[in-house]
Amino acid sequence: MTTADLAAVTLTLGITVLTSVPLGRYMARVFQGQPTWLDPVVLPIERAILRLVRVAADDSQDWRGYARSLLISNAVMWIVAWTIVTCQAWLPLNPDGIANMTPALAFNTASSFVTNTNLQHYSGETGLSTFAQMFMVTFLQFVTAASGMAALAAVIRALGGSRLTRLGHFYVDVTRASVRILLPLSLAVGTIALWQGTPMTLGGAVHATTLEGTPQIIARGMVAAEVAIKQLGTNGGGYFGPNSAHPFENPTPLTNLVQTWAIAVVPMGMVWTLGVMIGRRRLAAVLFSTLLALFVPLAGIAIWSEAQGSSAVAAAGLAQPAGSLEGKEIRVGTAMSALWATTTTATSNGSVNAMHDSLTPLAGLVALTNMWLNTIFGGVGVGFIGLLIYVVVAVFVAGMMIGRTPELLGKKVEPYEMQLASLTLLLHPLLILAGTAIACVVWTSTADPSTALAWLKNPGPHGFSEMLYEFTSAAANNGSGFEGLGDNTAFWNVSTGLVMLIGRYVPILAPLALAASLAAKPAAPDSPGTLGTDTATFGATLWAVVVILGLLMFLPVAVLGPIAEHLMS
Amino acid sequence: MLLELFRAVVFSAATLLLFGGAYHGLLWGIGRVAFPAQAEGSLIRRADGTVVGSRLIAQRFTRDVYVHPRPSAVDYDASSSGGSNYATSSPDQRKLVRDRLAEVQARERVAAADVPSELVTASGSGLDPHLSPDAVLLQVPRLARARGVSAERVRAIVQAHVEPPLLGLFGQPRVNVLVLNLALDDAFGSPAPSPRP
């Protein structure tokens, strides 16, 4: 790794952190219904949608109503998605003659995109028509990201309120998030992508005759539009199989920089949004610093590990000054691939610019760790909701340690809230560990599994990691994969489809109920006896709680998979 | 409940048209007007209009007169791209690396320690259009031999095609293999049907 690489990584992170502050403020204005400078363009669209769904801009729901709207709208979108992919052969805009998806694959795909996961058990250029890419994938990349942001807006209002039962209206929030935040950002990122070489054509694949005279079929499509929102909405689902490793999706170092920025800036901005909306900017700064203190060491490990090179290449006697290049692209380089791998898993995005299956074992462990925690900035909206659960637990732990009633923002944290927090926290490891355990049992109880099941591309601990990664990615609604896993089978389609649905809606609904319960309580004014949450001490406590509670349960599987692989190579 | 269902259906329909339709239409229009070549996939055409390839997509080169790109896990199939997904610990990967190294060494007549690792590893997309300058310069003596020209002249063309990192920081210095091979054909004559960039 060179100093230029280090400077590039630092600059990328620095730019993203700095720009997240004004974006966070802007998002707070949007969710508070205040005027913004984009209003002349976006307000008419917003008004039109709200008029159509017969909701007034100042309507408000209690948490149950809010949750009901979210669930029912998502259910309708699921049906739309499933219908489109199972009928795409008969629908227009299918220049490459893509066939309909099988019901099991369609179940997985619809669940994947409705839950903002974007796990892909198909490969873009052979699995989806242009119509499906536009009207299923990209459509859902906007509205499901906005659903997560809306849920966070409701949770934030609840945390800031005193004796509050109305948390805003789901349709107002989801419309504003998609129209006022995601749409303008996507148009900007999409235009840069186009300028740099990302295609935007209805023409389908082009047939070329190469310089040496052999035929080459080059898949194309409406790529730029999807690339922009896949990053900004922490969706991650790419137009082509290799995602942003594909030169069309990520043609230059500039697009790589812009996309890395786009992956993290909205989740980062959400932290500042909280600070503005509840009037506690210091708390936001403490939370942001805590998250950065988790992110930076993990990114450091990944970058360092990738710079060491691949053991397979070293064994052949090659020097690897450029790091481990299997599964990576020259224009991107190893350091920016490792930064991306860290960012995309920390934020629940799941897009990749290098093949994660070919990452060095410790960089793979970083990716897994990020998804196990699933809260280092996290997915737009939902990631930060996850952090708030850790905050509740940290407040509880700190309160117990010093013998005081645990309070969060002046509200007493009581058994009901702790039950909901525990449910949310325990569900994640349960889904991942139970899922992986079942997959292992199926594997070991099948005769000659490597030909009968043909799941695993790689033997030994890495094969285990491939199964572990798939359930981790599904439960974390991430969507990246160790793609050596042969995952388009009934077992993987159904199991991860279910895990994605549970892993999406329980961690939205339980915290919403928790926040609503806090909101209904009267807020006590701060007193000298108050346990301050906006101090460095609390930040350190929170950091420790996240690491200990979030990671301890995964230590055994980490040892069985990536750590064993690292020690063996 | 009925109102909720109504709202869900209407909202889905409205946003489906907005984000599936209008949003795409707008970016498609921007592409048409401002970036027509990029929007169509940065295609390179011959004088007669037939497509040679895309400047962003690697293609297979096997002849000695051409620079060879990185290995591809999908054999440069741009309709079904992908990486190898081999783990660094995979025994198959070890064997593959050794085989590729032997091939490169035989072709370029160089020591193993001089071979840049990108020439023995597959890219993420299988379509990586670039090589590092070192990986191209390694091939210059063979190119010069095959074309019957001096290595200096080939090297000069290579140097002229090195793209620096953005601001000297972002990305790696790199050479576009297809563009370079077209330039070599332009300078020294092409061994096959004459393509024009």
- pLDDT tens digit string along A431-465? 999 999 999 999 999 999 988 898 999 999 999 99
pLDDT band at B192 (very low <50, low <70, confident <90, very high): low
Tell me the residue range of the domain where A534 lies: 3-568
Task: Say if residue B23 is in the same domain as residue B90.
Answer: no
CA distance B125 to B84: 9
- pLDDT score at A3: 87
**Residues whose CB is less than 8 angstroms from the CB of residue B161 and which lie 6 or more positions away in sequence, other chains included:** B175, B176, B179, B180, B183
Task: Note whether A224 contacts B122, CB cutoff 8 Å.
Answer: no
Summarised one tens digit per residue, pLDDT across range B83-98 is 999 999 999 999 999 9
How many folded domains does chain B comprise? 2
Chain A interface includes B102 (CB < 8 A): no
Report the mean per-residue pLDDT for chain B: 94
Task: Give percent of chain B with pLDDT exceeding 70.
Answer: 97
Task: Please answer whether residues A166 and A183 qualify as being in contact, where contact means their C-beta atoms are separated by less than 8 angstroms.
Answer: no
The pLDDT of residue B194: 44
Average pLDDT, chain A: 94
Task: For A163, list phi and psi in degrees, rounded to 5.
Answer: 50, 50
Task: Give me the residues of B, 61-100, that contact A with CB < 8 A.
Answer: 61-63, 66, 70, 76-91, 93-94, 97-98
Structural domain tally of chain A? Answer: 1
What's the whole-number mean pLDDT along residues A537-560?
95
Asked if residue B153 and residue B66 are part of one domain, the reply reads: yes
Does the beta carbon of A22 lie under 8 angstroms from any beta carbon of chain B?
A: no
Do B17 and B82 belong to one domain? Answer: no
Position A1 scores a pLDDT of: 66
Chain A residue numbers with beta carbons less than 8 Å from the beta carbon of B66 are 211-212
Residue A86 has pLDDT above 80, yes or no: yes
Q: Are residues B101 and B146 in the same domain?
A: yes
Residue range A316-334: mean pLDDT, rounded: 95
Q: Which residues in chain B are closer than 8 Å to A210, comparing Cβ atoms?
A: 52-53, 59-60
Average pLDDT on A285-304 reads 97
Question: CB–CB of A329 and B18 under 8 A?
Answer: no
pLDDT exceeds cutoff 60 at A248:
yes
Predicted local distance difference test score (pLDDT) of residue A216: 97
Could you tell me the sign of the dihedral formed by the alpha carbons of A283, A286, A292, A294, in that order?
negative
**Within 10 Å of residue A354's Cβ, how many Cβ atoms?**
31
Q: Is the pLDDT score of B196 beyond 70?
A: no
Phi and psi at B166, nearest 5°, equal -65, 125
What's the rounded Cα separation, in Å, for the pair A155 and A146? 14
Whether the pLDDT of residue B148 is over 70: the answer is yes
CA distance A189 to chain B (A): 10
Q: Is the pLDDT of residue B195 over 50?
A: no
pLDDT in tens, B37-51: 999 999 999 989 999
Mean predicted confidence (pLDDT) in A111-131: 93
What residue of A is the nearest CA neighbor of B173? A331
Asked if A332 lies within 8 A of B171 by C-beta distance, the reply is: yes
Rounded Cα distance, A362 and A569, in Å: 11
Contact flag A199-B40 (C-beta cutoff 8 Å): yes
pTM, 2 dp: 0.95
**CA gyration radius, chain A:** 23
Over range A520-524, report the average pLDDT.
87
- Cα gap A271→A234, rounded to integer Å: 15
Residue of B54, B84, B101 lying closest to A326 (CB–CB): B84
- The model's confidence at residue A373, banded by pLDDT at 50, 70 and 90, is very high
pLDDT at A383: 85
> A184-195: per-residue pLDDT in tens?
999 999 999 999
Question: What digits encode the pLDDT tens for the residues A396-410?
Answer: 999 888 888 888 888
Q: Do both B4 and B88 map to the same domain?
A: no
The pLDDT tens digits of the residues spanning A88-103 come to 999 999 999 999 999 9
Q: Is B173 inside any structural domain?
A: yes
Q: A344-356, pLDDT tens digit by residue? A: 999 999 999 999 9
Please name which of A149, A225, A148, A134 lies closest in space to residue A183, comparing C-alpha atoms: A225
Same domain, B97 and B168: yes
CA distance A330 to chain B (A): 6
SS (H, E, C) A460-508: HHHHHHHHHHHHHHHHCCCCCCCCCCCCCCHHHHHHHHHHHHHHHHHHH
Chain B: nearest CA to A156, how far in angstroms? 24
B67 and B150 share one domain: yes
Q: Are residues B86 and B140 located together in one domain of the fold?
A: yes
Cα separation, A335 vs A256, in Å, equals 12
* Interchain CB contact of B197 with A (< 8 Å): no
For the cut 70, the answer to whether the pLDDT of residue B17 exceeds it is yes
Determine, yes or no, domain membership for B194. no
Given this model, what pLDDT does residue A450 score? 87
Does A223 have pLDDT greater than 50? yes
- The pLDDT score that the predictor gives to residue B150 is 96
The pLDDT of residue A405 is 82
Burial (0-12, 13-18, 19+ Cβ within 10 Å), A7: middle
Q: State residue A517's pLDDT score.
A: 94
Residue A126: its chain B contacts at CB < 8 A? 79-80
Question: How many other CB atoms are found less than 10 A from the CB of residue A522?
Answer: 9
In this predicted structure, what is the pLDDT of residue B134?
A: 96
Asked whether A555 and A355 are in contact (CB, 8 A), the reply is: no
Whether residue A218 and residue B77 make contact (CB cut-off 8 A), yes or no, is no
The answer to whether residues B133 and B184 belong to one domain is yes
Report the share of chain A in percent with pLDDT over 70. 100
Q: What is the pLDDT of residue A493?
A: 96
Question: For residue B163, what is the enclosing H or E element?
Answer: strand B162-163
B86·A320 Cβ contact <8 A: no
Question: How many C-beta atoms lie closer than 10 Å to residue A415's C-beta?
Answer: 7
Domain co-membership, B114 together with B125: yes
Torsion angle of alpha carbons A554, A557, A558, A559, nearest 10°? 130
Whether B4 sits inside 8 A of A72 (CB atoms) is yes
Q: B152 CA to chain A: closest CA distance, Å?
A: 24
pLDDT in tens, B94-116: 999 999 999 999 999 999 999 99
Contact criterion met (CB below 8 Å) for A163 and A521: yes
The beta-carbon neighbor of A76 closest among B9, B34, B79 is: B9
**Could you tell me if B78 and B11 lie in one domain?**
no
Range B17-33 average pLDDT? 97
Asked if B49 and B26 sit in the same domain, the reply is no
Q: Which domain holds residue B23?
A: 1-40
Angstrom distance (rounded) from CA A125 to CA A239: 7
Look-up: residue for tokens 């204005």? A29
Per-residue model confidence as pLDDT tens digits over A376-396: 998 887 888 889 899 999 999
What CA–CA distance (Å, rounded) separates A311 from A486? 24
